Structure 1
Amino acid sequence: MRNENKNLIVAIALSMAILIGWQYFFAAPEAERHRVATQQQAAQVNPNAPNAPATPSQAGGPSASVPGTVPNAPAASAIEARDVALARSPRVAIDTPSVLGSINLRGGRIDDVALRTYHETVDPKSANIILFSPTGTQNPYYAEFGWVGAQPDALPGPNTIWTADKPSLTQNSPVTLSYDNNQGLIFRRVISLDDKFMFTVKDSVQNRGGAPVTLHPYGLVSRHGTPTTLGYYVLHEGMIGVLGEQGLQEFTYSKLDKEGALSAPNTVGRVWDNAVGGFLGITDKYWAAAVVPDQGQPYQGSFTARQDPTGKVYQANVLGAQQVLQPGATTEMTQRLFAGAKEVATVDQYADTYKIKNFDLLIDWGWFYFITKPLFKVLDFFYRLVGNFGVAILIVTVILKIFFFPLASKSYASMAKMKAVQPEMASIRERFKDDKVKQQQALMELYKKEKINPVAGCWPVVIQIPVFFALYKVLFVTIEMRHAPFFGWIKDLAAPDPTSIFNLFGLLPYNPGSVPVIGHFLMLGAWPIMMGITMWLQMKMNPEPPDPVQKQVFAWMPVIFTFMLGSFPAGLVIYWAWNNLLSVTQQGFIMRRNGVKIELWDNVRGMFGKKSPAKG
């Protein structure tokens, strides 16, 4: 008995270590990263916001995909409020159903993009999500297109003032920028934007001079400063691209910093030559900016990171093939820029419409793409029918239960048979309690006689593991789940349940999460508790393990999972609770059909009852 107690203590200690480790290494750091990211986002709008992280002034301008091909813009004198930085240059307004912002006529950059339909919080009156910001702000982030060549002084650069043919860019009204270098070259740039997030940039050059000119078209996305990321293994944030036959390329900011040096000063990165098709860009959890080159022309793609005196600058670069422009001739290049929310239907539509190679991989579906994306498609189908992603999760769970019913039926039937022969199993253990080999042999003969598979009961759990992780991925990475409400207090299925039993679900006037050290353990919402209760009921439907230590570990498991899933997305917890409840119903039906008495109440009483004294 002393050894059993010792094993029980060890098992419980290990379980608690897992729980504490999860909270310490995942839940608490994620909350802190989210807090810092929110402060940085607020600082972009208002650099004087409380607790805004201090950042040195940023130098404007990109580095080149090939060293020396793209000149740098002058440095901003200091960190400025966003509206002040925007007012420093003449601009063309952007006003479409999905995007608000402006194009900088100094340099022709797209450096001011806010998402009209997305907000910082579930409150529709909260600030819009800001994607791009100009140089001079807290964290400049922009896209740039143009031409590079052997005579950079003859080409438009970051300081060039372009002329626009109209004051605003709308969905149905493209804007044309023009620039005459007074050396025989006329540059035009036609920029259009659809009702979502795809810019089309058509650059042309007319050579009115007397000598041929050699040019390369380019496009890039540049981000100044190292962004605060969530840091989850299941989520990629950083540089992303599909470069022709090279396939998907993903670099975190830290990984790119460790790449080999390029010939440009203080610049490291990775370069791919002669790629055809695909895209290059920078991705966050829900938002992305990516250059889409001509899908039929070869290009050089690269990810670069350079160390400026004011901080790191990360870039995704596309450099087109050389073009020799003869006197009197005109050349043009069409590229595209995705800058917005990674909506699944929108991204898929762009992939089909513009034939962009593997553009759907802009969304991080993960290694189990073949499960994750179809699962989202099914959820989205039912969402469109019922108008609630939470209800869609419940419907899909029922469908999965029906689909796997034959396998689950065999598993539960085997468990029911095992429950029915428990008296015989107890008798065998008593007869051979001093001979473990004979005891095991007798048990195996009993299993064979009664056609019982002792591990069959594991299959229902094994089945739901890949579904669980696929749903976790869907809830975590798809923007459709962001701020998606369920019912009652669940306003965001992608966020944890905001209630807590430790303040009586809001009746007591304090926030348990603010308690030092243990605050994360105290944020135990109503849905995680319901999940724990349903898990406990399901385990009580099963035959109790004969080993006392195993019995106690299984008894504690619902408690451990309740605390662990308290910090998971509410949609995942709702799925797990609903799945448990369906499993209890299904298992009860199968047990009755096999003539096995459901002794749920006896099992519950047995958990709290005292053990009979050991015979000695």
Structure 2
Amino acid sequence: MESMRGFFILGLAVCTFLLYQAWQKDYGPQPAQQQATIEQNGVSVSSGNTAANSDQLITVETDLVSYRIDPVGGDMVYAELKNYNVELDEDAKKVVLFDYRNRMYQAKSALLGQGAPDNQLPRANYQTDSKSFVLTDGMEQIEVPLTWVNDSGVSFTKTFTFTRGQYLVNMEYRINNQSTNDRTYNFVAELARDQKPTGLEEKSSFGMKPFMGVAYSPEEKKYEKVDFEDLEEEPIKTSRQGGWVGFLQHYFISAWIPPQTEQVTITSSIKANKDTTIRFVQPSISVLAGEEKVILADLYVGPKDLEQLEAAAPGLDKSLDLSWVWWIGLPLYKLMQFFFSFLGNWGLAIILVTIVIKTLLYPLSAAQYRSMANMRKLQPKMQRLKERYGDDKQRMQQEMMKMYKEEGANPFGGCLPMLLQFPIFIALYYVLFEAIELRHAPFFGWIQDLSVADPYFVLPILMGGSMLLMQRLQPKSPTMDQMQQKIMSYLPIVFAVFMLFFPAGLVLYWLCNNLISVAQQQYITKKVENAPDKPKKALKKK
């Protein structure tokens, strides 16, 4: 029963952690709103949104995303992810990130300076050979060039390059100065969006609220996220070499990425209507008369795909936020991906991960189960001690500790494995909450989405039953009164109720963990019980 106390402490710690996640909120005075203006070296341009004309938009179809580009300014104003449904069984309705219709969420890129396309409103209206581009079968890339020439003979060509199988879009800004004067320009890349909910926040993952806000890479580290409320209190203003800026929401991200050798200034702002902007500004670039210069930047818009994020920019993979247990969560995540690569089922991958974890912890678990088995063998002796010293608790504790020492039993042998399971459980919780692969991932039968709760509560009930079975195998403690024993008897029911709200994948892990624990405990217990008793050491004569 000492082990059950440890299990109770573990469960209490987990529940406390999750309740903290659920109810934690920040409070503070709301400052005056910031005007969304980009300023660099005395040059400024309003970042206010101009309504896109649907008939004039340039459409781009790749194997993964449907894009729309506004020729006025050359901004990315629409991105629909073809492989991700809003709801599980609604193939007709896909996840949309950038949008210009019922909300404002866009990726803007601007060039500022004398005669530049974005130096004044209305912004330049770029020309292109076609209004529709399609990445057809057999094509690995497709280029979408947008061109504008000013009155002085300086041409500006903004080219987006889309690659098969990639959510990363390459952008090239080519400046050809055929005027008679030297020119100086500043390149600005920004993401602008309202603060409306995405509509994709799953409500059934108990204890955690999906993050929505800005993210960037400050100079001193690769990843920092800031929610909208904190951003109002303290806008971002920093400089660094390379890095990235982006918007985060549950499972998805958009990010502008400068060349990692460029020194950039990163700032944020919020308008009175709550529209929020995160941007980077590159240093001035001089283009001599008759000269041509190229500015590069990348745009990522898509799911938090770990492999693609790692390849896109240093630290961008940290947007798959596994919190303080990332050092456990990341290996678990990659191990799950490995098992899925040949199993094709995320539920089976979770089961195999559980087996690996239990195998690695077996030496510690075996010591725990041996201690528990020895405690079971001592039950008759402990009962006699209780009958003899029941009214003298101090003397009884002394006699019990003496007996434990003589028999080689450890009543606290189960504590360490329990403590080790806590960060593993929390890490797996974050993985199941953050991993895009688990979203709408089926297991079998009625479980069609491992990232949300079991709709019929079968797994939580089975998990409670497995806890009850584990409880029956625990040795009873003679020092535990009837009230404590009654509380412990209700523990499986309490945990089963909590598990009703947890993601099915997490309950599956805990159920498998319990079943493997029962099998291991039964094996060790029979081995100990069938072993011959050790001869007692003779007392030394004085």
2-structure distance, mates of 1:320, 1:165: 29
Contact persistence 1:187–1:206 (CA under 8 A): yes
Equivalence for 1:369: 326
2-structure distance, mates of 1:415, 1:304: 60
Equivalence for 1:412: 369
Q: How does 1:225-374 map to 2 (within 5 A)?
A: 225-227=195-197, 236-259=211-234, 269-273=235-239, 275-307=240-272, 311-348=273-310, 350-351=311-312, 356-374=313-331
The structure 2 residue matched to 1:576, chosen from 495, 507, 510, is: 510
1:87 aligns with 2:54: yes
- Shift of residue 246, structure 1, vs aligned partner: 4.1
Equivalence for 1:590: 524
2-structure distance, mates of 1:191, 1:454: 66
- Shift of residue 145, structure 1, vs aligned partner: 1.1
* Structure 2 counterpart of 1:200, one-letter code: N
- Shift of residue 443, structure 1, vs aligned partner: 1.4
Provide Cα deviations, 1:74-107, integer angstroms capped at 9, x if missing partner: 665xxxxxxxx6525x122110000012111112
2-structure distance, mates of 1:412, 1:425: 18
582 and 531 in structure 1: CA distance in 2 versus 1, 3 angstrom threshold: same
- Shift of residue 139, structure 1, vs aligned partner: 1.8
Equivalence for 1:205: 175
What secondary structure does 2:384 align onto?
Answer: helix
Provide Cα deviations, 1:537-575, integer angstroms capped at 9, x if missing partner: 011111123312321121111101111110110011111
**Two-structure CA RMSD over aligned residues (Å):** 2.9
The structure 2 residue matched to 1:187, chosen from 156, 177, 180, is: 156
Contact persistence 1:170–1:193 (CA under 8 A): no
- Shift of residue 595, structure 1, vs aligned partner: 0.6
Contact persistence 1:69–1:149 (CA under 8 A): no
The structure 2 residue matched to 1:530, chosen from 462, 471, 476, is: 462
323 and 491 in structure 1: CA distance in 2 versus 1, 3 angstrom threshold: same
1:120 aligns with 2:86: yes
2-structure distance, mates of 1:543, 1:158: 79
Contact persistence 1:185–1:208 (CA under 8 A): yes
Higher alpha-carbon deviation: 206-215 or 318-327? 206-215
2-structure distance, mates of 1:428, 1:304: 72
The structure 2 residue matched to 1:163, chosen from 107, 116, 127, is: 127
Higher alpha-carbon deviation: 295-304 or 375-384? 295-304
The structure 2 residue matched to 1:553, chosen from 487, 495, 498, is: 487
1-structure distance, mates of 2:111, 2:230: 29
Provide Cα deviations, 1:94-144, integer angstroms capped at 9, x if missing partner: 10000012111112110111001111122152401111112xx33210101
Higher alpha-carbon deviation: 286-295 or 217-226? 217-226
- Shift of residue 250, structure 1, vs aligned partner: 1.1
398 and 19 in structure 1: CA distance in 2 versus 1, 3 angstrom threshold: closer
What secondary structure does 1:296 align onto?
Answer: coil
1-structure distance, mates of 2:397, 2:248: 56
158 and 318 in structure 1: CA distance in 2 versus 1, 3 angstrom threshold: farther
1-structure distance, mates of 2:380, 2:439: 52
- Shift of residue 359, structure 1, vs aligned partner: 2.2
Higher alpha-carbon deviation: 141-150 or 383-392? 141-150
Contact persistence 1:63–1:306 (CA under 8 A): no
Q: TM-score, normalised by structure 1?
A: 0.75
- Shift of residue 433, structure 1, vs aligned partner: 2.6
Provide Cα deviations, 1:194-226, integer angstroms capped at 9, x if missing partner: 122111110122223333222111111111234
22 and 294 in structure 1: CA distance in 2 versus 1, 3 angstrom threshold: closer
- Shift of residue 454, structure 1, vs aligned partner: 1.2
What secondary structure does 1:312 align onto?
Answer: coil
596 and 562 in structure 1: CA distance in 2 versus 1, 3 angstrom threshold: farther
Q: Which has the higher contact order (CA 8 A, sep 6+)?
A: 2
* Structure 1 counterpart of 2:159, one-letter code: V
Unpaired runs of 5+ residues, structure 2, are 1-7, 25-34, 136-140, 532-542
Provide Cα deviations, 1:351-384, integer angstroms capped at 9, x if missing partner: 4xxxx22221121122222111110111111111
1-structure distance, mates of 2:91, 2:370: 54
Q: TM-score, normalised by structure 2?
A: 0.85
- Shift of residue 179, structure 1, vs aligned partner: 0.6
Higher alpha-carbon deviation: 375-384 or 464-473? 464-473
Equivalence for 2:5: none
The structure 1 residue matched to 2:74, chosen from 108, 132, 142, is: 108
- Shift of residue 20, structure 1, vs aligned partner: 12
- Shift of residue 24, structure 1, vs aligned partner: 12
